[in-house]
């Protein structure tokens, strides 16, 4: 039995025991006598205490179970409400993005006219010129961008800021002869983009390709990769940066 039952039983015995002790009489005796508490009396007191305690204990436990059920039902209700709200938010984000993508199609010609070099033209650029090309493409898409590449850039060549004042760090890797960019480049920008530049997003862009390990590592750590095919869509095809990288729209 629980401690509650023990207290009730102790209370049922306490008064006659204390009375006998105060009177200088034995606390209990097997023989009947005036003022003595017989073994039968003790047994009766314990039985009575248990009879009184059991309903109290059962009632307390039933009340506790009802309270727990109410809490569990409330938690379940709040979880369901939270799930509905999350789905509603996701639906609204999807609706806004769809509307935004439709709007981009109407401005594609303008973007293409402003700046849209081909990948072949980009191949002929120097690494420093490649950084400027990426800067101009980001500016074409409505971001504020600056080239910070060079000694001490800490793995970030172009730093851009979107409409929500969120920073996007970009590392540019201009390659020749079909060389692939490996995951070491991603390690570098992953270690500095947020810590040094407070960037919300990290992008690595190349006119070549990425190794499979780099692609897997980038997907795992949230680093957006722009390879030759995506660069062609972004630059000459005049797709928007947020389209080719699937970045969340700035709110």
Q: Are residues 21 and 106 in the same domain?
A: yes
Residue 186 lies in a domain: yes
Residues 167, 189: Cα–Cα separation, whole Å = 13
Residue 250 lies in a domain: no
Contact by Cβ (8 Å): 205, 134 = yes
**DSSP code at position 17:** H
Chain mean position to CA 101: 27
CATH number of the structural domain spanning residue 239: 3.40.1350.10
pLDDT of residue 35: 47
Q: 8: phi > 0 → left, psi -120 to 50 → alpha, else beta; which?
A: alpha
Q: Are residues 166 and 180 in the same domain?
A: yes
Residues 133, 246: Cα–Cα separation, whole Å = 20
Q: Are residues 109 and 120 in the same domain?
A: no
Domain carrying residue 64: 1-114
pLDDT of residue 71: 92
Q: Are residues 123 and 184 in the same domain?
A: yes
Residue 251 lies in a domain: no
Q: Are residues 78 and 122 in the same domain?
A: no
Average pLDDT per run of 10 along the chain, which is 251 residues long?
A: 58 58 56 52 62 73 89 93 92 84 86 95 95 96 89 83 93 86 91 88 96 95 95 96 88 67
């Amino acid at each position: 039995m629980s401690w509650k039952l023990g207290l009730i039983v102790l209370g049922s015995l306490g008064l006659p025991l204390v009375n006998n002790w105060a009177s200088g009489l034995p606390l209990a005796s097997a023989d009947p006598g005036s003022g003595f508490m017989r073994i039968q009396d003790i047994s009766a007191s314990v039985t009575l205490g248990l009879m009184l305690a059991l309903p109290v204990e059962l009632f307390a436990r039933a009340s506790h179970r009802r309270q727990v059920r109410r809490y569990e039902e409330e938690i379940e209700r709040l979880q369901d409400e939270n799930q509905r709200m999350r789905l509603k938010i996701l639906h609204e984000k999807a609706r806004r993005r769809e509307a935004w993508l439709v709007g981009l199609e109407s401005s594609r010609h303008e973007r293409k006219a402003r700046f849209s070099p081909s990948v072949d033209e980009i191949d002929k650029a120097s690494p420093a010129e490649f950084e400027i090309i990426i800067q101009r493409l980001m500016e074409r898409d409505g971001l504020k961008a600056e080239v910070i590449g060079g000694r001490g850039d800490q793995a970030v060549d172009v730093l851009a800021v979107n409409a929500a004042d969120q920073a996007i760090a970009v590392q540019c890797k201009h390659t020749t002869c079909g060389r692939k960019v490996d995951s070491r480049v991603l390690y570098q920008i992953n270690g500095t983009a947020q810590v040094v530049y407070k960037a919300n997003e990290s992008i690595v862009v190349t006119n070549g390709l990425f190794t499979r390990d780099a692609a897997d590592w980038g997907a795992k750590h949230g680093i957006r990769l722009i390879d030759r095919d995506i660069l062609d869509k972004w630059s000459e095809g005049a797709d928007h940066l947020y389209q080719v990288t699937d970045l969340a729209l700035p709110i």
